[in-house]
């Protein structure tokens, strides 16, 4: 019987030109995610639920596990010798690698616990990460302002009924399930492909009154179902965590939308989700799996970031539906 393929084995055999230090870094990221999985899975028993009593740079209340997960990433990765800097949703500025540790070749951005509002209600949460080349010389916040098409690795770890690590190094998307008995992430979903067609959309419909015309048109047509212009009925799912929604779409198709809207615009926000550690890594995964990732007006991976915590509109998933939403934006403009 073939023994299951481990994360490291898949990385070394499926993409033979991966630099060994990148493989080592990805393995360390998996180790950090395994630690976060153990904390999330123990929940109340680990005494890690509830609010931290602090706010992040976004002005959002932090959960205890947001802060703990961020600390796990820092503690597990900063000494690895593979990083030149770290940036996170939970830290105002980049985290420099202490002088005591060897400076590495890569930068990592991460959302240590995406969807943390789901934590206290035992909903799906996840870690999102993005790895890019570090520039020569000193590293500062501007070193991270690289378009998503420059990522060398992007992935997430979903903490749900199973913990799954899903990642790409530019050679397709593979999914690995955590075997809690061995502590290894084992290959269970090789070469994930997003179905081009779907009848399932993912959006927070509580904001309907704030949507701009192109998004309103797309959703209204879907809601008309088989009697409407789409000629078929649609379903809706909203997990409240981007990792949960994106994973479902990678598994069975769909279109995820956190678009620009009038309320966000009134707060001078281009969107809710952050480019460097949410939209870009998820966008790379979607494209590598045959899907698309757009703001409605441009490809997410082509955006030149202007700040560490920049927000963007997000429309990603099954290619046919993303193209249709984009066409409605083009017609409107």
Rule CB under 6 A: choose which of 102, 140, 182, 204 binds ligand P6P: 204
> Between 37 and 241, whose beta carbon lies closer to ligand P6P?
241
Rule CB under 6 A: choose which of 66, 114, 174, 321 binds ligand P6P: 114
What minimum distance in Å lies between the beta carbon of 316 and ligand P6P? 11
Candidate ranges 72-80, 229-237, 238-246, 295-303; the one touching ligand P6P (CB under 6 A): 238-246
241 near ligand P6P, rule: CB under 6 A: yes
163 near ligand P6P, rule: CB under 6 A: no
208 near ligand P6P, rule: CB under 6 A: no
Site size with ligand P6P, rule: CB under 6 A? 10
**What whole-number distance in Å separates Cα of residue 258 and Cα of residue 306?**
20
> Between 21 and 58, whose beta carbon lies closer to ligand P6P?
58
Residue with tokens 């005591």, as numbered in its chain: 100
283 near ligand P6P, rule: CB under 6 A: no
127 near ligand P6P, rule: CB under 6 A: no
What minimum distance in Å lies between the beta carbon of 272 and ligand P6P? 6
Candidate ranges 32-40, 129-137, 210-218, 235-243; the one touching ligand P6P (CB under 6 A): 235-243
Cα dist from 130 to 143, 275, 277, whole Å: 14, 11, 6
> Between 117 and 307, whose beta carbon lies closer to ligand P6P?
117
Q: For residue 279, how many other CB atoms are within 10 A of its CB?
A: 29
The mark string for 242-271 relative to ligand P6P (x by CB under 6 A, - otherwise) is x---------------x-------------
Rule CB under 6 A: choose which of 61, 96, 240, 290 binds ligand P6P: 240
**What whole-number distance in Å separates Cα of residue 251 and Cα of residue 174?**
11
What minimum distance in Å lies between the beta carbon of 258 and ligand P6P? 6
Rule CB under 6 A: choose which of 117, 182, 304, 327 binds ligand P6P: 117
Per-residue HEC secondary structure of the chain comes to CCCCCEHHHHHHHHCCCCCHHHHHHHHHHHHHHHHHHHHHHHHHHHCCCCEEEEECCCCCEEEHHHHHHHHHHHHHHCCCCCEEEEEECCCCCCEECCCCCCCCCEEEEEEEEECHHHHHHCCCEEEEEEEEECCCCCCCHHHHCCCHHHEEEEEEEEECCCEEEEEECCCCEEEEEEECCCCEEEEEECCCCCCCCCCEEECCHHHHHHECHHHHHHHHHHHHHHHCCCCCCCEECCCCCHHHHHHHHHHHCCEEEECCEHHHHHCCCCCCEEHHHHHHHHHHHHHHCCCEEECCCCEHHHCCCCCCCCEECEEEECHHHHHHHHHHHHHHC
Candidate ranges 110-118, 171-179, 210-218, 259-267; the one touching ligand P6P (CB under 6 A): 110-118
Residue of minimal Cβ distance to ligand P6P: 242
Report the site for ligand P6P in 141-160 (rule: CB under 6 A). none
Report the site for ligand P6P in 291-310 (rule: CB under 6 A). none
115 near ligand P6P, rule: CB under 6 A: yes
Query: Contact at 8 Å (CB) between 12 and 26?
Result: no
Candidate ranges 26-34, 112-120, 150-158, 218-226; the one touching ligand P6P (CB under 6 A): 112-120
Closest among 192, 160, 190 to 285, alpha carbons compared: 192
313 near ligand P6P, rule: CB under 6 A: no
What is the binding site for ligand P6P (CB under 6 A)? Answer: 114-115, 117, 204, 240-242, 258, 272-273
């Amino acid at each position: 019987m073939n023994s299951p393929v481990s994360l490291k084995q898949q990385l070394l055999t499926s993409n033979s030109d991966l630099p060994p230090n990148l493989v080592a870094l990805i393995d360390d990221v998996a180790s950090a995610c395994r630690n976060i999985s153990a904390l999330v899975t123990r929940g109340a028993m680990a005494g890690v639920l509830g609010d931290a009593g602090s706010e992040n740079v976004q002005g959002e209340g932090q959960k205890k596990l947001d802060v703990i997960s961020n600390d796990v990433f820092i503690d597990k990765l900063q000494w690895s010798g593979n990083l030149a800097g770290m940036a996170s949703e939970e830290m105002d500025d980049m985290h420099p690698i202490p002088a005591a540790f060897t400076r590495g070749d890569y930068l990592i951005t991460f959302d240590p616990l995406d969807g943390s509002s789901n934590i206290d209600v035992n909903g799906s949460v996840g870690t999102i990460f993005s790895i890019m080349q570090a520039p020569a010389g000193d590293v500062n916040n501007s070193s991270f302002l690289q378009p998503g098409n420059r990522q060398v690795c992007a992935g997430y770890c979903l903490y749900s009924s199973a913990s799954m690590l899903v990642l790409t190094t530019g050679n397709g998307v593979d999914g690995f399930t955590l075997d809690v008995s061995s502590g290894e992430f084992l290959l269970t979903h090789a070469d994930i492909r997003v179905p081009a067609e779907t009848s399932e959309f993912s959006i927070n419909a509580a904001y309907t009154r704030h949507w701009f015309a192109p998004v309103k048109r797309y959703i209204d047509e879907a809601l008309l179902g088989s009697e409407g212009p789409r000629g078929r009925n649609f379903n809706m799912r909203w997990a409240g965590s981007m990792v949960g929604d994106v994973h479902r779409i990678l598994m069975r198709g769909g279109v995820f939308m956190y678009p620009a809207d009038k309320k966000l615009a009134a707060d001078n926000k281009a969107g809710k989700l952050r480019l460097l550690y949410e939209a870009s890594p998820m966008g790379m995964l979607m494209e590598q799996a045959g899907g698309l990732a757009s703001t409605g007006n441009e490809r997410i991976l082509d955006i030149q970031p202007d700040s560490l915590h920049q927000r963007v509109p997000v429309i990603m998933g099954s290619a046919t539906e993303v193209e249709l939403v984009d066409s409605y934006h083009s017609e409107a403009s």
